[in-house]
Amino acid sequence: MSPRDASPFIRRDGPALEEVETYARLERTWATPPGLWGWLSSVDHKQVGRRYIVTAFVFFLLAGLLALAMRMQLAGPEQTLLTPDRYNQIFTMHGTTMMFLFAVPVMEAFAIYLVPLMVGTRAIAFPRLNAFSYWVYLAGGVMLWVAFILNVGPDVGWFSYVPLAGPQFSPGKRTDFWAQMITFTEVAALAVAVEIIVTVFKQRAPGMSLNRIPLFVWGQLVTSFMVVFAMPAVMVSSSMLIMDRLIGTHFFNPAEGGDALLWQHLFWFFGHPEVYIIFLPATGFVSSILPTFARRPIFGYTALVLALVATGFLGFGLWVHHMFVTGLPHLGNSFYTAASMAIAVPSGIQIFCWLATLWDGRPRFATPLLFVIGFIVIFVLGGLSGIMLASVPIDSQVHDTYFVVAHFHYVLIGGAVFPLFGAVYYWFPKFTGRMLSERAGAWNFGLFFVGFNLAFFPMHILGLIGMPRRVYSYPAGLGWDDLNLLATAGATILAAGVLVFLGNVWHSLKYGLVADDNPWGAATLEWATTSPPPSFNFVHIPVVTGSNPLWEEPDGLPVVGGLRVDQRELLLTSVVDAEPEVREPSPEPSIWPLLSATAVTILFIGSIFTPWAVVWGSIPLAVGLIGWFWPKSAPDTPEPVID
């Protein structure tokens, strides 16, 4: 203890303990140990979240390179850059990587980093599970890409339809790697969903009642529930697929009473909600960025929350619209058409509230806002082509053409990637303590917007004039040449935008303006602590008195004291009103999550080669889990009597 420390026995924060001393003790308690070992055993949600974000962006770049390769191949008729077999692997890897290794994980990554800060707590719920989920995700992604490099990458499309993906038509291990990649990423996603739900339910700062939860957090909460109900479907179906392939079950084999459409039902029961699992967090980005840059509270908070929840429910009523051409009964089709159109209502409400916020505010057109406006424009267009596809006659015409490719890139890139880039510009100062360059940001946005529309708008027309998706080449003279060249040119411009972004990140990390706590003048709690935040997030747990706490309490937020500073301790509050209830300990760093994830990896990959891997692989896994949960020390040091 330092000599100026007048109160060596005080182990809780409060007026009796000097601020500097509180900070120092919290840092001792919460800091991740230095060195490689510390790095591997970290359970700090900010470190894990950063790793998730960086890893997801690496996968985005890899999948983007594959997209460029496809566009080069298709730039003109009858090119020979890629063989048909390689092309099949490439579009499958592109779609699979973008959906499972980039889009979903990157949204979770932002939740892992931001949700605990936004609700005003010191750590995420179940931090070791969080570390575990990252390692499992990483292992699944690396496995898939190593397989691809060894020429055993999956080649049957990102949704692996049977019978093509079944044992008869896809011998070899390619599809097995796909199915196990699903298992890895879904285990990771489910773990994160549970962490987010519990963090939001139980760890909100005192006073943050349900009607004061930031919209980003609402979006992540609804998303997490969708993950809970949707992801088991793809785990069940991909496990059935791998069993059909490896141990001779017959789930999808019509000759033995199985059914190929069962795959499609199970896959799309997950696959359609998947779109909202990507999209709802993106709306959370939009609802965070807009009020800050319009400089007024969000318009229609309650309507926006209800729209989120409604989308969450409706998202599960829609899966059959991916199967209109499979010959289901007609009445059923009409129902799903109606449901597909109904989902336009909550989306419309959201767009209306956002425009009203902008209209009524005093907008400041910084880069995050530019990306949000780009999002609104593109998303409206993508929604329109989506409404067209919801109609059975149109879908029957353009099914499996480039019209569909155009549509889902409008929704996915417009609806998720644009807000995501806005979010990176917005929160980069919080993550790193440095601002990204605004000038490069404007270029980044301009190249994205122009490149994106040039690349994907022509694909609508290509689809309407008959170009099928998933073809590695096409003959000259069909009238497809110019539009394809245009699309490739657009993709190149988009790629230039990505390069500007990478340059901006690299340069700003070293030379960017140093950011203060709240560089944009925002209203939510993550801006109430330093940039980047300390290991324990907040010196004292803030008290929330409104929906825009930092605007409503310009003289600094009131806080509560009484949490231990010599041990990791969290404040738990009640679910509805966020009344303080319990001071709960939070786990220390541990190597066991990594060891357990390694055991899981051995089990999953081993099972591609022999079913017995499930049996003997479960032994190291059991050891890992017991090591994880076994208490490390004697019971906690008892609390001091005098303070």
Partner 1 sequence: MERAPRFAADLAHLPTSAHGPRATTWWGTLGFILIEATGFALAAAAYFYLMGQTETWPPGQSPPDWLWGTLQLVLMLASLWPNWWTDRVAHADDLRKVRIGLVAMSAVGLLTLVVRAFEFGALNCRWDDNAYGSMVWVLLGLHATHLITDVGDTLVLTVLMFTKHVEPRRFTDVTDNCVYWNFVVAAWVPLWALLYVVPRVV
Q: Which residues bind ligand HEM (CB under 6 A)?
A: 64, 67, 70-71, 91-92, 94-95, 98-99, 103, 157-158, 405, 409, 412-413, 417, 455, 469-470, 491, 494
Question: Does residue 257 interact with partner 1 by CB under 8 A?
Answer: yes
**Alpha-helical runs (H) found in 120-214:** 127-149, 174-202
Chain positions 171 to 230 lying near partner 1, rule: CB under 8 A, are 190, 193-194, 197-198, 201-203, 206, 228-229
Q: Judging by DSSP bridges, how do beta strands 569-573 and 580-585 pair with one another?
A: antiparallel
Q: Which residue has the tokens 């470190």?
A: 47
Cβ-based nearer residue to ligand HEM, 102 or 132: 102
Quote the tokens at residue 100. 């499972």
Pick one of 32, 173, 212, 249: the residue that binds partner 1 (CB under 8 A): 249
Q: How far is the CB of 322 from Cu ion (least distance, A)?
A: 5
Cβ-based nearer residue to ligand HEM, 84 or 611: 84
Partner from Cu ion, ligand HEM, partner 1, none binding residue 316, C-beta < 5-8 Å depending on class: none
Cβ-based nearer residue to ligand HEM, 487 or 605: 487
Question: Does residue 352 interact with partner 1 by CB under 8 A?
Answer: no
Q: Count Cβ neighbours within 10 Å for each residue of 127-147 and write b for 16 or more, e otherwise.
A: bbbbbbbbbbbbbbbebbbeb
**Alpha-helical runs (H) found in 203-300:** 215-246, 260-294
Pick one of 572, 578, 597, 608: the residue that binds partner 1 (CB under 8 A): 572
How far apart CA 405 and CA 484 sit, in angstroms, is 13
Return the H-helix or E-strand segment holding 433.
none
The answer to whether the bond into 206 is cis (omega within 30° of 0) is: no
For residues 231 and 190, the answer to whether their CB atoms sit within 8 Å is: yes
Cβ-based nearer residue to partner 1, 423 or 557: 557
Angle at 213 between CA 212 and CA 218, to 5 degrees: 140
Residue 103 identity (one-letter amino acid): A
Interacting residues with Cu ion (CB under 5 A): 272
Question: Does residue 136 interact with partner 1 by CB under 8 A?
Answer: no
Cβ-based nearer residue to ligand HEM, 266 or 495: 495
Pick one of 86, 295, 469, 583: the residue that binds partner 1 (CB under 8 A): 583
Taking phi over 0 as left and psi of -120 to 50 as alpha, with beta for the rest, 585 belongs to beta
Half-sphere exposure of 159 (CA within 13 A, CB side): 19
Chain positions 536 to 555 lying near partner 1, rule: CB under 8 A, are 539-540, 543, 555
> If you compute the radius of gyration of the chain from its CA atoms, what whole number of angstroms results?
25
Partner from partner 1, ligand HEM, Cu ion, none binding residue 236, C-beta < 5-8 Å depending on class: partner 1
Cβ-based nearer residue to partner 1, 109 or 235: 235
Q: How many CB atoms lie within 10 A of CB 79?
A: 13
Q: How far is the CB of 569 from ligand HEM (least distance, A)?
A: 39
Partner from ligand HEM, partner 1, Cu ion, none binding residue 91, C-beta < 5-8 Å depending on class: ligand HEM
Partner from ligand HEM, Cu ion, partner 1, none binding residue 272, C-beta < 5-8 Å depending on class: Cu ion
Q: Which residue has the tokens 């990649």?
A: 181
Question: Does residue 309 interact with partner 1 by CB under 8 A?
Answer: no
Closest CA to 607 of 176, 151, 150, 160: 176
Cβ-based nearer residue to partner 1, 91 or 100: 100
Q: How far is the CB of 170 from partner 1 (least distance, A)?
A: 19
**From the centroid of its chain, how far is CA 205?**
24
Cβ-based nearer residue to ligand HEM, 56 or 541: 56
Q: What phi and psi values does residue 437 have, to the nearest 5 degrees?
A: -70, 130
Cβ-based nearer residue to ligand HEM, 52 or 520: 52
How far apart CA 62 and CA 68 sit, in angstroms, is 10
Question: Does residue 623 interact with partner 1 by CB under 8 A?
Answer: no
- The DSSP letter of residue 325 is G
Pick one of 584, 609, 619, 637: the residue that binds partner 1 (CB under 8 A): 584
Q: How many CB atoms lie within 10 A of CB 559?
A: 17
Partner from partner 1, ligand HEM, Cu ion, none binding residue 405, C-beta < 5-8 Å depending on class: ligand HEM
Q: How far is the CB of 240 from Cu ion (least distance, A)?
A: 21
How far apart CA 235 and CA 193 sit, in angstroms, is 15
Cβ-based nearer residue to ligand HEM, 126 or 449: 449
Instruction: Say how many residues touch partner 1, by CB under 8 A.
Output: 73
Considering Cα of 533, then 536, then 538, then 544, what sign does the dihedral take? positive
Partner from partner 1, Cu ion, ligand HEM, none binding residue 332, C-beta < 5-8 Å depending on class: none
Question: Does residue 526 interact with partner 1 by CB under 8 A?
Answer: no
Residue 501 identity (one-letter amino acid): F
Cβ-based nearer residue to partner 1, 59 or 132: 132
